[in-house]
Chain A
Amino acid sequence: MKLTLKVWRQKNGSTPGELKTYPADHVSPDMSFLEMLDEVNQALIMQGEDPIAFDHDCREGICGMCSLMINGVAHGPKEAITTCQLHMRSFKDGETITIEPWRAKPFPIIKDLVVDRESFDRIIQAGGFISASTGSAPDGNAIPVAKPDADKSMDAAACIGCGACAAACPNGSAMLFTAAKVAHLGHLPQGQAERHQRVVNMVATQDAEGFGNCTNIGECAAVCPKEISLDTIAMLNRDLVIAALKGIEPVVK
């Protein structure tokens, strides 16, 4: 396959970037999208040019590092997979592919296609945990969890924190991510003690980090590689309303 790539190149956060065109002439349909970029980078290095910087780690859809806007869609044209799970057979020979970084104010560009997603870490730190006494591991069956609750919690826990939701959202909102964390813990008995404080803290942090406001458009769920559903957002909203009725104030460092 022969492809033309238009790739966002940007030296660092303080210099303006631009889309640059590169040929990719030796692409096998069996390559993953990231392998294809590796090949292009190899050629760039041979020519003495700066290779294209992009994030990746596990390359099997579990770490959430890969983060490319491919032809304007987060993680590319296939549903429910990450960029690293995307194969070149999903594209046509001769196609031009535009590759951009996640774009949202709270995801500043570090270099080229690499963005800083520490804002997500700070949202997690604000409430994405439970407080438990340490010591020997508790008996696995000591706290019974109903199967439907366990399933819903697991579905939400599948979120890998990639940031596609916020990058795809026309409002730059991180609601699907935050809601996945709220639903993950909120469906479990262990998550109940801090349930309402959690949602207040996480929403306040999300606002403070500069994310936008959810208008229930659903672009996030449509691109989420882990198929987190809008139901989690309804659950976050419900918890926030109850927290407000209880008069719970955010406690954020």
Chain B
Amino acid sequence: MMTGVLTLHRTSVGKKVIMALTGCILVGFVVFHMYGNTKMFMGPDEFNKYAEGLRYLGSPVFGYEHLLWVARLVLIAAVVLHVWSASALVTQSRKATGGMKRYSEHKRHTSYAAYTMRYGGILIFLFIIFHVLHLTFGVVGYAAGQFNHPGGGNYDIYNNVIYGFQNVPISLFYIVTMVFLGFHLFHGVWSMFQTLGLNSATYNTLLRGLAVVVCAVVVVGNISFPVAVLTGVIQPV
């Protein structure tokens, strides 16, 4: 029975199902990640302990960073499949409408979010690369020696985040991307249920509402971090 899942990639609808399933993993991550980051408001000790805890996840049964790496691999696989399906489907749709200029096309059902999924997706993808180079590896956005590489009993991501966001252009880039992430989630979270066939007239309003809540929580939460640093609400220690 489960081998049937491996045939999903063959049809357009199947590719969308892959996007929905991997999107579900990514939404789970973004919500959890936002939640984890709110610990920076509880002070450096609490926040840095969180960074340490991520690496000791499952200890003593699991070794140092083992579960973290499992999570990283699952996320990388999810991103790869999500982006691969999206580009295959966009190519298919381009062909279906390609070479056919629609002169006076007029949208009746206005959903800015639904129309910008592919562009927002590209921006978020580029953001993830930048973000990992920034706050995980510390190779961009820091003066020499300013970034504290987590490990070896030393987890100072608190100062990393603050020095990182004191750079105004970088903070603005984070904020702008979060707005697009919001559009992506606004359509994506609802669309996920529609694609998996879990939507119907009975649940539609509820699922639209759920998408708004997830979108608002993630966007407001994430934007609050650079804003808190730029306004001096949280200070380096």
Contacts and interface: CB of A to CB of B under 8 A. Distances in A.
B219 interface: no
B106 A72 contact: yes
Contacts of B193: 234
Given A100-B104, A217-B114, A222 B109 contact: yes
A100 B93 contact: no
Given A73-B106, A231-B200, A245-B4, A103 B191 contact: no
A218 B100 contact: no
Contact of A105 (B5, B89, B98, B199): B98
Contact of A234 (B8, B102, B197): B197
A173 B97 CA distance: 9
Interface in B139-187: 187
Given A212-B96, A238-B196, 20 more contacts: A8-B103, A73-B108, A98-B103, A100-B102, A172-B96, A172-B100, A204-B11, A207-B12, A212-B92, A212-B95, A214-B12, A216-B191, A216-B194, A223-B108, A230-B194, A231-B201, A237-B197, A238-B197, A245-B1, A248-B4
B4 A212 contact: no
Contacts, number: 160
Interface of B is mostly: helix
A78 to B, nearest CB: 11
B97 A212 contact: yes
Interface string A224-253: 000001110111111111011111111000
Given A203-B12, A214-B16, A234-B200, A104 B194 contact: no
Given A73-B108, A219-B109, A241-B196, A105 B13 contact: no
B197 A207 contact: no
Interface residues of A, number: 55
Contacts of A40: none
A217 B195 CA distance: 12
B213 interface: no
Contact of A244 (B4, B95, B103, B115): B4
| In the A-B complex, the 3 residue pairs with the closest CB atoms | A238-B197, A172-B96, A72-B106
Given A105-B98, A237-B194, A170 B115 contact: yes
Contacts of B117: 215
B100 A103 contact: yes
Nearest to B188: A216
Given A172-B93, A234-B194, A215 B5 contact: no
Interface of B: 1-5, 7-8, 10-17, 89-90, 92-109, 111, 114-115, 117, 187, 190-191, 193-201, 204
Nearest to B106: A72
A211 interface: yes
A227 B12 CA distance: 24
A69 to B, nearest CB: 7
Contacts of B201: 229, 231
Contacts of A218: 109, 111, 114
Contacts of B106: 71-73
Contacts of B111: 217-218
A225 B204 CA distance: 22
Contact of B89 (A213, A229, A243): A213
A4 to B, nearest CB: 13
25 contacts: A19-B103, A72-B106, A103-B102, A170-B115, A172-B100, A173-B12, A207-B11, A212-B96, A213-B12, A214-B16, A215-B117, A217-B114, A218-B114, A223-B108, A231-B200, A234-B193, A234-B200, A236-B13, A236-B197, A237-B13, A238-B197, A241-B17, A244-B14, A245-B5, A250-B11
A229 B115 CA distance: 19
